[in-house]
Amino acid sequence: MAATVHSPIVTYASMLSLLAFCPPFVILLWYTMVHQGGSVTQTCGFLWENGVQGLINIWPRPTAIAWKIIFCYGAFEAALQLLLPGKRVEGPISPTGNRPVYKANGMAAYFVTLATYLALWWFGIFNPAIVYDHLGEIFSALIFGSLVFCVLLYVKGHVAPSSSDSGSCGNLIIDFYWGMELYPRIGKNFDIKVFTNCRFGMMSWAVLAVTYCIKQYEINGKVSDSMLVNTILMLVYVTKFFWWEAGYWNTMDIAHDRAGFYICWGCLVWVPSIYTSPGMYLVNHPVQLGTQLAVYILVAGCLCIYINYDCDRQRQEFRRTNGKCSVWGKAPSKIVATYTTTAGETKTSLLLTSGWWGLARHFHYVPEISSAFFWTVPALFDNFLPYFYVIFLTILLFDRAKRDDDRCRSKYGKYWKLYCEKVRYRIIPGIY
């Protein structure tokens, strides 16, 4: 029986609210951005007048073209994941003592995807503006398709789990929501979470960022500096992600969260729709910032993305070298923590207590949130909606920091307590 850190009540409340509110929210956000000029007030007015029937009327039905676009994109990404060469990389030891093996070809897949997409546009084979024109139908298809996908994951977890890192907690709803398997695979090599989180979700972020830019160009015959700053920062962020993809395989999403509705639906629907939304807004709002302001925002955003990357790199390098590395020019300060796996084996982990990881236990979330702010602020302040992602991300990461602290406390016990005494703040040094 799989252990779960989430109580049934929290899971039911969280699942019901996600199921009830997220799909309509995705549609309303798209509708407000594309058809109401980004004005929440106008959409609220529309809903006030027309009620639930109004929502049903604006909800686009998934069309054949939407399914075709999703299928071609998904199949292309799956093929790249399987076929492109890449270094063999070992993931972290799982709770039952397994070590998953991956092929690190994310950066190659990223470049092939963007090059193919731009080439299709350049040579007049496929116009990315079509994706924007059918965005509502695509999101609608993703909402329903991903739900079916999660049901299949649940069934697979029961009938054909890929490894011993799987199992039921005895409650159908919790199993469906938090997932059955940690590393579900098709065959030996096709890792489903790498596909959903990285190659579908994160890749769609870059693809849609480019799409929005091209759509604005098609409408106005030029691209505004605000759109350029937004697109460049989002692309720098996603490039950083794929550059560091093997490191991502060591993080909570992959190493701790099982493949269920929470993470997979989030990556398949929420990332393409909500994460990309500041760019979606800018398509119809070609704000001109002026070169100086545009450059300031661009530099500040790049700096935040770099710091976020450097935090992740520092922790990864520290773990990879077993603490035999230099952190900010000095030998790292560390805690040697032991813990017991669910199979009863005693293992050792190192906790870094200097560098970025000595400022706060989750300091890396500060530059993460700031980067999102910098690729949104080109939209200026006419409307609140483009800032939704920054607010959502802040709530997500504050909750995540707490979840991670709770998990590490139960994993490392007194060693985590020692870490908390040495590094007192959770996210913002001196404040929280």
Binding-site ranges for ligand NDP (CB under 6 A): 92, 251-253, 308, 312, 315, 349, 351-352, 357, 364-365, 368, 393, 396, 400, 404, 408, 411
The residues that bridge with 330 in the sheet, in sequence order, are 327
Query: At closest approach, how far in Å is the CB of 356 from ligand NDP?
Result: 9
Shortest separation between residue 414's beta carbon and ligand NDP, angstroms = 15
Q: Does residue 167 come out as left (phi exceeding 0), alpha (psi in the -120 to 50 range) or beta? A: left
Q: Is the distance from CB of 55 to CB of 21 less than 8 angstroms?
A: no
Comparing CB distances to ligand NDP, the nearer of 35 and 409 is 409
Q: Closer to ligand NDP at the Cβ: 293 or 335? A: 335
| CA separation for the pair 366, 397 (Å, rounded) | 9
Phi-psi region of 260 (alpha: psi -120 to 50; beta: other; left: phi over 0): beta
Residue 191 or 312 having the CB closest to ligand NDP: 312
| Cross-strand partners of 191 | 185
Count Cβ atoms below 10 Å from residue 310 Cβ, excluding itself. Answer: 15
User: CB-wise, 134 or 199, nearer to ligand NDP?
Assistant: 199
DSSP state of 430: T
CB of residue 208 to ligand NDP, shortest distance in Å:
15
Closer residue to ligand NDP (CB): 287 or 396? 396
| Cβ distance to ligand NDP smaller for residue 225 or 312 | 312
Q: How many angstroms from the chain centroid is the CA of residue 320?
A: 24
Residue with tokens 């809903």: 47
CB of 35 to ligand NDP, least distance (A): 27
- Residue 25 half-sphere exposure toward CB, CA atoms < 13 A: 16
DSSP state, residue 59: S
* Comparison of 210 and 311: residue with beta carbon closer to ligand NDP: 311
Nearer to ligand NDP, 4 or 63 (CB): 4
Select the residue whose beta carbon is closest to ligand NDP and give its number. 251
- The DSSP H or E segment spanning 102 is strand 101-104
Minimum CB–partner distance for residue 121 and ligand NDP (Å): 27
Least distance (Å) between residue 273 CB and ligand NDP = 13
Q: What are the residues facing 350 on neighbouring strands?
A: 336
Rounded to whole angstroms, the Cα distance separating 171 from 168 reads: 7
Which tokens go with 423?
């590094």
Q: How far is the CB of 37 from ligand NDP (least distance, A)?
A: 27
Angle of helix 8-35 relative to helix 40-58, nearest 10 degrees, comes to 100
Nearest distance in Å: CB 408, ligand NDP: 6
